[in-house]
């Protein structure tokens, strides 16, 4: 039960962090390129990579808090970090083909899914 609570609370914190940090960076930089989102995704990858390295050693933190930080806070902040860590883990295990496949398929399929979802919504809403 504590694990679920930590995920929920962490997710709320991460979502608020993402919204505020992404907006702050975007206003600071300006323009139409989504720099704020890019910065959020890259910082989330760095933080999850750092925590992954820390958590690979002796566990100095209870599982509930580790999951609350990684799945909760960072999941709310950016699920892109999980994608980055999973791709890294594949490459780190010398599964280079699977790492590339994960990156390419995730990005291409994600873009296609957004496009299809958008087009379905346009037709459904009659726009």
Rounded Cα gap, residues 60 and 15, in angstroms = 26
**Structural domain boundaries, residue 120:** 94-127
Shared domain for 19 and 54, answered yes or no, is: yes
pLDDT at 74: 93
Q: Assess if residue 42 is contained within a domain.
A: yes
With a cut of 80, say whether residue 126 has pLDDT above it: no
User: What pLDDT digit, counting tens, does each position of 41-91 carry?
Assistant: 999 999 998 988 888 878 788 999 999 999 999 999 998 888 998 999 999
Is the domain of 67 the same as that of 123?
Answer: no
**Residues 74 and 99 both lie in one domain:** no
86 assigned to some structural domain? no
Chain segment 24-39, per-residue pLDDT in tens: 999 999 998 889 999 9
The whole-number pLDDT of residue 123 equals 87
CA distances from 112 to 28, 47, 105, 118, 120 (A): 30, 28, 10, 10, 12
Count of the separate structural domains present in the chain: 2
* 45 shares a domain with 14: yes
0.85 exceeded by the pTM? no
């Amino acid at each position: 039960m504590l694990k679920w609570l930590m995920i929920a609370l962490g997710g709320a914190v991460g979502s608020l962090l993402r919204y505020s940090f992404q907006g702050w960076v975007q206003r600071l930089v300006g323009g139409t390129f989504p720099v704020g989102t890019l910065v959020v995704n890259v910082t989330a990858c760095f933080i999850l990579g750092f925590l992954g390295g820390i958590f690979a050693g002796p566990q100095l933190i209870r599982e509930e808090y580790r999951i609350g930080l990684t799945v909760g806070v960072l999941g709310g902040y950016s699920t892109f970090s999980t994608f980055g860590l999973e791709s890294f883990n594949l490459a780190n295990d010398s599964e280079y083909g699977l790492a590339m496949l994960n990156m390419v398929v995730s990005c291409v399929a994600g873009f296609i899914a957004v496009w299809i979802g958008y087009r379905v919504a346009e037709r459904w809403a009659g726009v």
